[in-house]
Structure 1
Amino acid sequence: MAEFAIETIALKKKFGSFTAVNALNLKIRKGELFGFLGPNGAGKTTTMRMLTTLTPPTEGKASVAGFDIEGESEHVRSRIGVVPQSFALLEELTPMENLWFIGELYSMAGEEVEASISK
């Protein structure tokens, strides 16, 4: 069992020459209440997108529930819940595309996604 619910070591995310998250080190224990506070552009959303395996880090390591966010993303996704601020995870996607995207996040087979959508 992992000692920390979330741990990051020198986690970094760059978009071209822009560094959104720079060498973030966190150790959040199980049961600890933690919040990200900061102005727009501080890297809060980018950090959450990395921790939830939606976007890979440029450098560094992170684990959630003891699982590596890059090498064990399916295990991470099976242990977390994400409630986006708006209904559509990606506003540029159609509702159907969003459903397919969510199915992919949960590693669902195509037939399983089809069956869930048709319900």
Structure 2
Amino acid sequence: MAADGTVVVVDKLEKVFSGGVRAIDSISFEVSRGEIFGFLGPNGAGKTTTISILTTQTLPTGGRAEVLGHDVVNEPGKVRKGIGLVPQDLTVDDELTGRENMELQARLYGVPYGEAKKRIDEL
């Protein structure tokens, strides 16, 4: 987090997909600690793409974004350690057991094996 209490900084952020589809066209905003921030817009406005960039799931093609003082491109691991994401769609793999799904998520988030095993066993 920045010294001024800013937790999210988006500066001239852009995302252009292959084929030239522009999903985000130079947006900028900041979110301060404790602020309730609504991110609204019509379908296709780039909301989901922006959140995907802020959660390090996709890379921007221009501009910059920081979460908790960490650059989403250069410090994705630090960003992920400081955030939580509740996706709109279910992310459980039906082909895996409950335990295997938890193990997969732990690996994706960099939880050390021993710690993950202990936490999963507790659940």
Structures share a fold, TM > 0.5?
yes
- Give me the TM-score of the superposition, normalised by structure 2: 0.77
1:42 is aligned to 45
- Alignment counterpart, residue 32 of structure 2, candidates 26, 29, 34: 29
Equivalenced residues, count:
115
Please give the residue correspondences for 1:9-88 in structure 2 after superposition, counting only pairs within 5 Å.
9-16=11-18, 17-88=20-91
Q: Amino acid of the residue matched to residue 21 of structure 2?
A: F
Structure 2 Cα separation of the partners of residues 15 and 104 of structure 1:
28
Q: Amino acid of the residue matched to residue 38 of structure 2?
A: G
Unaligned runs of 5+ in 1: none
Unaligned runs of 5+ in 2: none
SS of the residue aligned with 2:65? Answer: strand
What's the C-alpha RMSD, in Å, of the aligned pairs? 2.6
CA offsets, 1:33-75, max 9 Å, x none? 1011111101000000000000011111110011110111111
User: Identical aligned pairs, as a percentage?
Assistant: 40
2:7 is aligned to 5
- Alignment counterpart, residue 109 of structure 2, candidates 78, 89, 106: 106
SS of the residue aligned with 1:78? Answer: helix
Matched-pair contact (CA < 8 Å) for 1:53–1:73: yes
Matched-pair contact (CA < 8 Å) for 1:88–1:95: no
C-alpha displacement at 1:103, in angstroms?
Answer: 3.7
SS of the residue aligned with 2:82? Answer: coil
